[in-house]
């Protein structure tokens, strides 16, 4: 493990490191605790906000900027850092996009605010119109990606790779990373809920004078759980076939029992929010492939553990577009 602050190796001062991320957030976080004194009366280093901080464990895992510092009378210190994607949250604006893909919106926003860009996957779907008033850049991107998912079923997520914003499609590859009882799993708990389940969807298009309505229902779920309807207003330019496709996709996404799984295991640096892993535990019945929604890695005294939230489908940030 190694921590570099502004090109200075401060690993010798570090007591513990927490490295975390969440699909609901655009930026990963690095928290460091340290002992920043040699004589108990004065600090060894003065940390300046805005400086670059990098974290390595065999390879570089994090590159970002120092945002918060803390210290006490005993010389104990704390640093909180975020990768460059944090500037999607720290900036708000008013913008209008017409006939643009979410990927094109991402490139434009990053170029305008000088956020370094890596690989940007082509999101495919051309969004007819999105107007944003006083929204953060993150809200704009999450909204565009939500609209894309609703119309195509394709899921994309944002992360940062070595200082560059990256947009990737979430697919289901063959999961090679395994967590299981008797091997590396330390604890696991499972909760299932139909609190957010929908068994019926109504989509309304057209205009106020000439509305076009499409309704779809999962009869099996409705019989089992009752009727729970979602209503959504769609772009007035969509024809009935497009409204039908949208309604079917919404019902497919919402007509599920939510399964929330949290676990703790020995750490694997390859596992972060957006990863696909295999988990096996006989007591809870967890057996198969799951998405990682959030991760927290903890490094202290040579021991690396991690806490994960996982589910059978990814818990991506959802921001529905509201006409203004």
Name all domains of the chain by residue range, CATH numbers in brackets: 2-83 (no CATH), 87-169 (3.55.50.10), 178-193+258-311 (2.40.30.150), 200-255 (no CATH)
**Angle, helices 102-112/137-152, rounded to nearest 10 degrees:** 170
In angstroms, the CA 263 to CA 187 distance is 5
- Using the 8-state DSSP alphabet, how is residue 287 labeled? E
How are strands ordered across the β-sheet holding 164-169? 117-120, 164-169, 156-161
Residue the block writes with tokens 């972060």: 272
Q: What DSSP character marks residue 40?
A: S
- Strands (DSSP E) along 90-228, which ranges? 92-101, 117-120, 126-136, 156-161, 164-169, 178-180, 185-193, 200-206, 211-217
Cβ neighbours of residue 153 closer than 8 Å, sequence gap 6 or more: 249, 252, 253
Q: What is the pLDDT of residue 223?
A: 96
CA distance 95 to 106: 13
**Are 298 and 304 a contacting pair, CB within 8 Å?**
yes
Encoded tokens for 294: 């959030």
Task: Report CA-CA distances (Å) from 22 to 291, 307, 314.
Answer: 12, 12, 11
Distance between terminal CA atoms of the chain?
49
Contacts 24+ apart (CB under 8 A), 113-120: 113/87, 113/137, 115/84, 115/85, 115/87, 115/88, 115/165, 116/84, 116/163, 116/164, 116/165, 117/164, 117/165, 118/161, 118/162, 118/164, 118/165, 118/166, 119/161, 119/166, 119/167, 119/168, 120/166, 120/167
Tokens 């906000």 correspond to 49
Distances (CA, A) of 186 to 270, 288, 293, 305, 306: 18, 18, 19, 9, 10
- Which residue numbers in the chain have pLDDT < 50? none
User: Distance between CA atoms of 131 and 198, rounded to whole angstroms?
Assistant: 28
pLDDT of residue 173: 62
The pTM of this model reads 0.88
Neighbours of 163 (CB within 10 A): 18
């Amino acid at each position: 493990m190694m921590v570099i602050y502004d090109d200075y190796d401060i690993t010798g001062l570090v007591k513990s490191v927490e490295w975390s991320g969440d699909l609901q957030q655009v930026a990963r976080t690095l928290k460091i605790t340290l002992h920043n004194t040699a004589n108990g009366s004065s600090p060894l280093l003065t940390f300046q906000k805005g400086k670059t901080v990098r974290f390595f464990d065999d390879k570089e895992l994090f590159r970002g900027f120092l945002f918060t510092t803390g210290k006490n009378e005993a010389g104990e210190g704390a640093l909180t850092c975020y990768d460059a994607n944090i500037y999607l949250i720290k900036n708000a604006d008013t913008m209008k996009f017409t006939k643009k893909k979410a990927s094109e919106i991402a490139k434009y926003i990053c170029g305008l605010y000088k956020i370094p860009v890596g690989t940007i996957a082509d999101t495919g779907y051309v969004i007819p119109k999105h107007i944003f008033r006083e929204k953060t850049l993150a809200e704009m991107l999450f909204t565009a990606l939500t609209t894309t998912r609703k119309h195509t079923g394709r899921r994309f997520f944002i992360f940062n790779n070595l200082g560059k914003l990256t947009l990737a499609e979430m697919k289901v590859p063959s999961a090679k990373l395994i967590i299981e009882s008797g091997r590396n799993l330390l604890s696991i708990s499972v909760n299932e809920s139909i609190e957010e389940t929908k068994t019926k969807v109504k989509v309304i298009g057209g205009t106020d004078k000439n509305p076009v309505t499409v309704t779809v229902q999962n009869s099996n779920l409705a019989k089992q759980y009752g009727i729970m309807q979602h209503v959504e207003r769609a772009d007035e330019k969509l024809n009935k076939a497009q409204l039908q496709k949208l309604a079917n996709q919404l019902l497919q996404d919402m007509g599920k029992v939510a399964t929330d799984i949290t676990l703790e295991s020995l750490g694997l640096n390859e596992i972060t929010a957006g990863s696909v892993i295999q988990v096996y535990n006989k007591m809870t019945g967890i057996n198969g492939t799951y998405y990682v929604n959030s991760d927290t890695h903890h490094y202290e005294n040579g021991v690396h553990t991690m806490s994960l939230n996982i589910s059978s489908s990814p818990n991506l940030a959802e921001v529905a577009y509201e006409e203004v």
